[in-house]
Structures are given as C-alpha cells and as structure tokens.
Amino acid sequence: MSTKNKVTVKIMDRDYTLVSEDAREHMQRVANFVDDKMREMYNSNKKLSTSMVGVLTALNIADELHKVLIEKEELELRINSPQYELKSARDELESVVTEYERRSQAYEKMIQEFSRLIDSSNIYETGVAQLRKRMDKLDHELRTKEENLKKSRNEVLELEKEFSQKDNSQRVINFDDETT
C-alpha cells in the first residue's frame, strides 16, 4: 500500500485539506492553479457568488482539459499511424516538387530572355561596328575630297594668277602696238 500525503491549501481565502498519493508539491501546484483561475473569474465579474465562480472555473478548466485530451488523441494517432506520417511527407514532398518545377520554369524563361537579349545585343553591336566602319570610310573619303578640293582651288588660283599675268602682259603688248 502506498503512503498518502496530506496538505492544507488555500483557495479563495478558504482552507482545504487535501489527501492524495501525489506529492505535496504537486497538490500545492494544482491548488494554486485552481485559486488563480477562480480569482481570474471573480475579478472579471465581482457580482458572482463563490459557488458560481467555482462552477464557472470548473467548466473552464474542464474545457481546457477536454481540448488537451483531444489534441493528445490526435497526436497519439499521428505517432501510431505511419500511414499518416507517410501521407504528410508525400504531401510536403509534392508541394516542394511543385515549387521546384515552378521555379525551374521561371528560371528557364529568364535564361531564354537573357539569351534573346544577348543575341539582340550582339546584333546591335555588329550593326554599330558596321556603321562605325562605314562612317570612318566616309570620313576618310570626305577628307580626301576636301584635300582634292583645296588642291583644285589652289590650282584655280594659280591659273587665275597666270591668266591674269598673261592678260596683263598682252594688254601691255596691245597697248604698245597702239602707240607705235
């Protein structure tokens, strides 16, 4: 036979003697929990009688216990059911694979767009290089023509000078012919 422990606890300022096989510390913790819950209920509505506070507190504690028991049963089912765990793992794997595929497709689209942009850039750069070459060639031709034009102008000026000098010398001759 196990030994019984006896402890006096205070709940809502009233003393109660508890006898149990549980440890005294455990009984005191339980009594403190009940006292805290009852005081919480009383502080939320001070018009309630002590018996009403006790009943409402018992209902709240029973509700919490019931929820914990349901959760415990669900956890036990999960622990004891490899099928459940396997299904959960498959569902998670499926969502990871779906996300991977979605991201892979997005990545492929980005790679294609990047390649298209590089191709466009290469075409543009080739066009620009060809235009630069053509512009350099035209610039060279223009300079050559400008030099030729300058030479031609100089030649025209020289010829005009020569012509002017010959014309002046012929006038002098004609003038001399008239005086004689």
Confidence (pLDDT) at 127: 86
Say if residues 53 and 68 touch (Cβ distance below 8 Å): no
The mean pLDDT value for 94-110 works out to 94
pLDDT at residue 178 is higher than 60:
no
Instruction: Give the pLDDT band (50/70/90) at residue 5.
Output: very high
| Consecutive H or E run containing 172 | helix 82-179
DSSP character string of 11-66? ETTEEEEEEESS-HHHHHHHHHHHHHHHHHHHHH-TTS-HHHHHHHHHHHHHHHHH
Label residue 77 by pLDDT band (50, 70, 90).
Answer: confident
83-98 average pLDDT score: 87
Task: Examine the pLDDT at 142 and tell me if it is beyond 80.
Answer: yes
**Distance separating alpha carbons of residues 57 and 61, to the nearest angstrom:** 6
Query: Would you call 75 helix, strand, or coil by DSSP?
Result: helix
pLDDT, position 177:
58
Amino acid letter, 9: V
pLDDT, position 104: 94
Identify which of 36, 33, 29, 35 has the alpha carbon closest to the alpha carbon of residue 15: 35
* Domain ranges within the chain, ordered by starting residue: 5-80, 84-157
As a whole number of angstroms, the distance between CA 38 and CA 57 comes to 6
Contact criterion met (CB below 8 Å) for 7 and 27: yes
- C-alpha–C-alpha distance, residues 150 and 157, integer Å: 10
In this structure, what are the phi and psi dihedrals at residue 21, rounded to the nearest 5 degrees?
-80, -15
Q: Is the pLDDT of residue 28 over 70?
A: yes
Q: At what angle do helices 50-80 and 24-44 cross, to 10 degrees?
A: 120
- Whole-number Å distance between alpha carbons of 133 and 146: 20
Residues 30-52 pLDDT 10s: 999 999 999 999 999 999 999 99
Answering whether pTM is above 0.85, one says no
